[in-house]
Structure 1
Amino acid sequence: MSFIDDIRAAFSRRDNALSQLLLINVLAFVALLLVRVGLFLTTGGSITITPILEWIAVPSDPLRLLTRPWTLLTYSFAHLEFLHILFNLLNLYWFGSLVREYLGDRKLVSLYILGALAGAALYLLAFNLIPVFQGRPAILYGASASVTAIIVGAATLLPDYTFNIILLGPVRIKYIAAVVVLVSIAGIDGNNPGGEIAHLGGALLGFLFVKQLQRGRDLGRPVQAVGDWVGALLSGRPRLRVTHRGGSAAAPAASAARKGNLPKPEQEDIDAILDKISRSGYESLSKEEKQKLFKASQK
């Protein structure tokens, strides 16, 4: 199977969101890298990649943004520096795996996209309303806001889950998320204030996303609806709506499920799951047990 076939196969699966997000970031990085090197070899550096980057990065000028609205999404897949994309992809893989396992692919994609939008929104507000940033044209690019949303979302969902970190040992992810937020705050007066502010927008979105989900409200529904529409458009298959005439014993349950009022697990089941965590750790739980634990947290 060729490289192109491998990429096509990765995007043909509906349960492969994390790999798809990672792959899109890598492909975009490689494309920008080739363009940058090509410009250097052909022009000797007299033409840089900046004009091209400005068409996919979020400008701080709202009037220019109106002519490039797609940048609110494309910026979250653009990287130029190797270390920038490396750390983003590592964190996306580690924390995204938790979100995907516990909440599913659609929630992971929603969190990534909403994190990007929230990061861009806070960046635009800051650079147009805070005096110290006004008159300083800037562009925003990179997946950091989306990744920060996923980090904080995972920490809000599973605060006591632990990662084994070299030289530090086991560390609960709520502390990792706290450090990420504090570092972003500390960096606002540094060389990349726009990026750090965008991180904070993503962090706030990640926290609110999970908290609202625990209350039965899915902030990602608009994202999922747009994704379904685009998927149906690309596949050329219209979405079908099935209407049932008459009543059904399953109808109330289906209606409750759509509203987020899923049946709560029994207390005995929760006690057994908590005992299993104390004996073997959270990683030993099955997917069904994790879902039961999450439903119980919605009480």
Structure 2
Amino acid sequence: MIGSSAGVMAVLIFMCSYMPYKDVRILVFNIKLIYIGLFFVVLDLIQIPVSNAGGHLAHLGGAMTGYIYQRNISRGNDIGQWISNIASYFSSLFSFKRPRFAKYIPQQNPNPNKINLKSIKQKLTQSLIKSVSQDMQA
């Protein structure tokens, strides 16, 4: 996990800017996410001249990246989509594709001698109507 602290800071600031007024319980206190994010940013700003300026600047860069990413996501612009496309391309190269077999589709009328009930029903209905109308006329 060495070197991942800037990424962790990016995720923290992303969450803090995405839902800043969400309460988080720390021990027995409820603290809003915005205050947690501000605390870590100010802490890194204060510690730049004291020790490891490169590490603290990396944290601030991660914080800026998380904030910019969240702002773009909230506007509907996913600036990381290209990374997802590259990852899905490489994962598709190594994924197993099952062989596709032809789907069996039965013929509509395999047996022409088969009784068609619908046409018989229509013929019976027509003959019944004809006979009833002849009886009513007589």
Residue matched to 2:111: none
Name the CA distance, whole Å, in 1 between partners of 2:9 and 2:94. 30
Residue matched to 2:100: none
Name the aligned partner's letter for residue 211 of structure 1. Answer: R
Residue matched to 2:19: 158
Residue matched to 1:145: 6
**Counterpart pick for 2:74 among 214, 230, 237:** 214
Residue matched to 1:272: none
Number of residue pairs matched by the alignment: 97
Query: What is the 5 A alignment of 1:107-186?
Result: 142-166=3-27, 169-186=29-46
Residue matched to 2:136: none
User: How far 1:191 moved relative to its partner?
Assistant: 2.4
Name the CA distance, whole Å, in 2 between partners of 1:202 and 1:230. 26
Instruction: Identify unmatched segments of 5+ residues in structure 1.
Output: 1-77, 80-141, 238-299
Name the CA distance, whole Å, in 1 between partners of 2:72 and 2:43. 26
Name the CA distance, whole Å, in 1 between partners of 2:51 and 2:74. 37
RMSD (Å), alpha carbons: 1.4
User: How far 1:166 moved relative to its partner?
Assistant: 2.2
Name the CA distance, whole Å, in 1 between partners of 2:86 and 2:42. 34
Task: Spell out structure 1 runs of 4+ moving beyond 3 A.
Answer: none
Identity rate, percent: 28
SS of 1:218's equivalent in the other structure is coil
**Counterpart pick for 1:198 among 49, 52, 58:** 58
User: How far 1:236 moved relative to its partner?
Assistant: 5.1
**TM-score, normalised via structure 1 length:** 0.31
Instruction: Identify unmatched segments of 5+ residues in structure 2.
Output: 98-138
Name the aligned partner's letter for residue 212 of structure 1. Answer: N
Residue matched to 2:128: none
Higher relative contact order (CA 8 A, sep 6+): 2
Larger Rg: 2
Q: Which one has the bigger helix percentage?
A: 1
Name the CA distance, whole Å, in 1 between partners of 2:93 and 2:47. 42
